[in-house]
């Protein structure tokens, strides 16, 4: 039964005429989350194991426990926090494997399209500013946004409904005429609680994992599905 549920899909059903502002997440939504998954689940444990005379499996178990304790908080994405906690230069480690940073298929086409429509387009991410800088250097997505906002600037993680209230004050959008695309269900739940009009779930955040549609939100696999008149 569970397998069947994950294959049921709610299709997006809205008109671009009803949207003024588009808010887009970065990791897993515009960029392939494989980089992040590999970095935190494999690469960091390997380096941590060498530095602390552990096996990789021991290191991975310790780190996954630490990660879980701060999920959905600003600490989880704070590279300075993890550098201090782990005794590693996390930004430098990210740069070592930055060849794995990739833009999802059709993302640039979609960004060109919604800019052509005259929409206000903002990148809104939980990613730390140092992560953002690394990824913007490796991709060509930066110029397509009117503004790029990190959660640390807002002072709350996107999983908290108050995040969206503060973001509205910063950007001045009408939540009833705003679309948010995101690959994290908890973030969409918080945006729905806040009252965001159009919520889109990205069902394949990592190129290395299967598509899994949301039971609660309209889902897309790639952004070409939102290029319509």
Which residue among 18, 109, 174, 216 is the active-site one?
A: 18
203 CA to centre of own chain: 12
Distance (Å, whole) CA 171 – CA 179: 14
Q: H or E segment at 180?
A: strand 178-182
Catalytic residue status for 18: yes
In the block, residue with structure tokens 């918080």: 190
Strand 147-150 to strand 219-220: parallel, antiparallel, or no bridges (unpaired)?
unpaired
Distance (Å, whole) CA 143 – CA 222: 21
**Measuring CA to CA, how many Å separate 106 from each of 99, 113, 207, 220, 224?**
19, 10, 13, 12, 6
Strand order across the beta sheet in which 147-150 lies:
147-150, 120-125, 21-24, 178-182, 198-202, 219-220
Which sequence positions are flagged as catalytic? Answer: 18
């Amino acid at each position: 039964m569970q397998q069947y549920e994950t294959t049921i899909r709610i299709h997006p059903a809205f008109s671009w005429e009803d949207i003024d502002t588009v808010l887009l997440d970065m990791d897993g939504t515009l960029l392939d989350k494989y980089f992040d998954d590999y970095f935190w689940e494999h690469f960091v444990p390997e380096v941590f194991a060498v530095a602390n005379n552990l096996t990789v499996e021991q290191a991975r178990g310790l780190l996954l426990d630490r990660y879980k304790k701060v999920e959905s908080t600003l600490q989880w994405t704070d590279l300075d926090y993890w550098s201090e906690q782990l005794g590693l230069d996390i930004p430098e480690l990210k740069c070592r494997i930055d060849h794995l940073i990739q833009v999802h298929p059709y993302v640039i086409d979609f960004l060109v399209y919604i800019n052509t429509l005259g929409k206000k387009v903002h990148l809104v991410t939980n990613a730390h500013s140092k992560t953002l800088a690394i990824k913007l250097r490796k991709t060509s997505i930066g110029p397509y946004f009117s503004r790029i906002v990190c959660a640390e600037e807002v002072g709350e993680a996107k999983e908290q409904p108050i995040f969206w209230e503060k973001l509205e004050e910063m950007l001045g959008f009408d939540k009833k005429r705003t679309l948010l695309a995101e690959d994290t269900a908890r973030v969409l739940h918080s945006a729905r609680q806040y009252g965001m009009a159009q919520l889109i779930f990205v069902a394949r955040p990592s190129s290395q994992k299967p598509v899994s549609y949301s039971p609660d939100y309209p889902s897309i696999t790639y952004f070409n599905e939102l290029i319509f008149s």
